[in-house]
Amino acid sequence: MPLSFTRTLRLKVRTEAYAWLNAAAIEVNEVFNYCNETSLKAATRTDTKRKWLSGFDLCYLTAGATQYFDKIGADTIQSICNHYAQKRQAAKRLKLRWRVSGGARRSLGWIPFKALSLKRQGVCLRFAGKCVRVFERERLQGVKWQGGCFAQDAVGDWWLCLPVKLEAEPSIAPREAVGIDLGLKSIAVTSEGERLAAGRWTQGYADKLSSAQRRGHKRQAKRIHRKALRCRADALHKFSRKMVDRYQRIIVGDVSSLKLARTRMAKCVLDSGWGMLKDFLDYKSQQAARTFEVISERNTSVTCSTCGALSGPRGVNGLIVRSWVCGDCGESHDRDQNAARNILIGSRCRTSVRGNESSTSLVPPSSASRAREVGTETARAAA
């Protein structure tokens, strides 16, 4: 059966449309702030008419507002109202942060639209009476997009984001399963011994970044940040694609980058991109009909993957120990690879924290784990 999935195409807009998009983004901010103010007043009324305004209510209140705007139309206004209502409900707050159109803390531009609002017109795309050209327009050939948006990045460039529905034929990977341990010295280490070395991309551009900041070149500093981000994403894309093409089941530990970002290791943790790697593995696994799981990695570094004894180095001082020997069975272990093996072995009996697995039933052991278990039983019998 063909597998359908939704993918967001991100196409860069040519510079001649930037002035029009900047002006339209200011009108979008006005509508968003109106929804924010109106929803706050309705939720804090002191009489019996207090209520949480839904997207339908906000669309009703903004009906006929297109005559006051020169750039955006009714479909964009309705998209803003629905998006605001969904975001405020998810945040569970009386109001959201105001969108600022100018100054040092200016909000990045954002213009949502419905699917029918964007139409092809020759080599251009027509939106709200404006012809917009994009790079790589051949990627839009033969695809039917859904409601998307124009989004601005920190440098000031505009991008067209279009969710499209694609189909992929499921395939069988040549290997069964792999466990992945996330760390700082190596971003990812697999149970088979493959490593993704830490690139230290932010540290590599630190001199250029500090020089630009001292000279007051804010735009150049933003470009340097974007360069480091692209280098990180490129390495993570290549590693995740290799894992998805090779393994049918991918199991990753649930290390939290948000918690470790509050420590002295914050720069290294954020530069490793653990969350980005998990997202890449997740959506690529869905496209290729693979199984992706995130399980608890408790005690995976101190547990011997051969005999299961808790004989590994513990505590903060134990982090410096990268190789150790099990005191029970005498097996020598690499710290990260041993943790990845325990993640793979434990995935058969642990509850998944997050993933796209189809069921919670136990997965039959792989040939590698069966051979390891047979060797363990032989060693115990000989002892």
pLDDT at residue 101 greater than cutoff 90: yes
pTM across the whole model: 0.77
| C-alpha torsion sign, points 103, 227, 111, 16 | positive
Residue with tokens 């975001």: 87
The 10s digit of each residue's pLDDT in 109-149 is 999 999 999 999 888 999 998 999 999 988 888 888 888 99
Q: What is the CA radius of gyration of the chain?
A: 26
The 10s digit of each residue's pLDDT in 226-267 is 999 999 999 999 999 999 999 999 999 888 888 888 888 888
The 10s digit of each residue's pLDDT in 285-333 is 888 888 899 888 888 888 888 887 887 788 777 777 888 888 878 888 8
Return the structure tokens found at 87. 């975001």
pLDDT score for 353 = 62
Distance CA 380, CA 383 (A): 5
